[in-house]
Structure 1
Amino acid sequence: MNQTRRVLLVTPALSVAQRRAAFDDGGPLDPVGAAQARAAAGSLPGGVPVLVSPSVRCEETAAALGLASVAALPAPAGLDAGRWRGRTLDEVGAAEPEALGRWLTDPEAAAPGGESVAQVCARVARWLADGEPGAGRLIAVVEPDVVRAAVVHAVGAPAAAFWRLDVAPLTVTEFSGRLGRWNVGIGRPLGATP
């Protein structure tokens, strides 16, 4: 990477699944979240390439913000929760307490039929390192898991730090870097002055 790159990772607005403390089920934004995203329209720079993770809540957030995806490839997807998709943490904890406990404490443990934290961290690190975002500035509307994984990579933290990062809905985390080194501006609410 010869030129400084700036990657703005935008988290989606609150979804129905998030309000229930459930693993993403592909459902829509919560009405309050959709209204908040519409209110934040215009708060991101224009004329910048936009990537959107392949989830309903990311697509709806991008649309509410007035962002149109212009890239042929989507931004990285969030962590695949496998058969836990759509279930609440309480439901999974009651049915599979040992599996959930391992998944939350061991970065190598995968959700049944899904992926591990280590896998999503490696996938997002490759996306950042491979130059997919290109030179210059890029906006990507991505799942909070992608932001966590990108921060873990950027600061050189172990994958075990993944669950220690809180990522709020409708925030921007900015990565700027060159020569494989990243600086991170974490979690600015959309509409707030940088």
Structure 2
Amino acid sequence: MTSRVTLISPAITPSLRRARFDDGDSIEDGAGARAGSAAVLLRAAERAFASSSVRCRETASALGLDASEPPDLSGLDVGRWRGRTLEEVGAEEPEAVARWLADPDAAPHGGESVRELCARIVRWWETAGSADGRTVAVVEPEVVRAVVAHVLGAPMSAFWRVDVPPLTATEFTGRSGRWNVRVGHVLATSPDLV
């Protein structure tokens, strides 16, 4: 049987709008309504998950999903950079930011490296991707990046090359380790989604 896994990025937040590392803020006014209006587009799924961030939980709720929050599905731990903008960190620590963006093993912020994040997400994917039927998960953009790179067999450098806009869906369809990827469908306007 075919497995279908749809990863939905969270609705826009003030932090996302300012390129600020997640600081636990809520989705913007109106974003929940947009997500709610897209709920009718989602086909029923056997399983629903969400990253543990406020924005992912709120987006999942607005979509009407009763989502569990497996620890492996959380976003990238950016340590002491949490709540700061990339511009602020880049101005104060340009070498650290450059190293972090170029080296998947670097974690100058004291959190987790991109490689550690990807390994954690792949552990979750091995279970989610092997389940028959439909799975829907509202996840941080970096989780989508990690899964896309993994299923395509792309090098770790591809991680930063995947753009994941807010409130979009990326669908993976396959079985036995062979996947097709449908990327970046805006939830509010895609009637054939999931």
**TM-score, normalising length: structure 1:** 0.91
Pick one of 25, 28, 38 that aligns with 1:27.
Answer: 25
Whole-Å separation in 2 of the counterparts to 1:173 and 1:67: 17
Describe the shift of the 1:133–1:72 C-alpha distance in structure 2 as closer, same or farther (beyond 3 A): farther
Aligned residue number for residue 118 of structure 1: 115
Letter in 2 for 1:24: D
Identity %: 54
Deviates more, 1:14-23 or 1:148-157: 14-23
Letter in 2 for 1:159: M
Describe the shift of the 1:99–1:175 C-alpha distance in structure 2 as closer, same or farther (beyond 3 A): same
Deviates more, 1:92-101 or 1:37-46: 37-46
Aligned residue number for residue 10 of structure 1: 8
Does structure 2 conserve the Cα–Cα contact (< 8 Å) formed by 1:52 and 1:74?
no
Give the Å deviation of 1:45. 1.0
Does structure 1 conserve the Cα–Cα contact (< 8 Å) formed by 2:78 and 2:110?
yes
Deviates more, 1:107-116 or 1:140-149: 107-116
Unmatched tracts of structure 1, length 5 or more? none
Whole-Å separation in 2 of the counterparts to 1:165 and 1:53: 19
Whole-Å separation in 1 of the counterparts to 2:130 and 2:29: 31
Whole-Å separation in 1 of the counterparts to 2:21 and 2:169: 22
Does structure 2 conserve the Cα–Cα contact (< 8 Å) formed by 1:51 and 1:75?
no
Please give the root-mean-square deviation of Cα atoms over the aligned residues, in Å: 1.8
Whole-Å separation in 2 of the counterparts to 1:148 and 1:112: 20
Aligned residue number for residue 46 of structure 2: 48
Aligned residue number for residue 57 of structure 1: 55
Length, aligned pairs only: 191
Whole-Å separation in 1 of the counterparts to 2:19 and 2:69: 32
Letter in 2 for 1:38: G
Describe the shift of the 1:132–1:176 C-alpha distance in structure 2 as closer, same or farther (beyond 3 A): closer
Aligned residue number for residue 97 of structure 1: 94
DSSP 3-state at the match of 1:41: helix
Aligned residue number for residue 164 of structure 2: 167
Pick one of 79, 103, 120 that aligns with 2:76.
Answer: 79
**TM-score, normalising length: structure 2:** 0.91
Unmatched tracts of structure 2, length 5 or more? none
Residues 1:135 and 2:132 are matched in the alignment: yes
Pick one of 133, 149, 152 that aligns with 1:152.
Answer: 149
Does structure 2 conserve the Cα–Cα contact (< 8 Å) formed by 1:81 and 1:113?
yes
Does structure 1 conserve the Cα–Cα contact (< 8 Å) formed by 2:72 and 2:120?
no
Does structure 2 conserve the Cα–Cα contact (< 8 Å) formed by 1:26 and 1:55?
yes
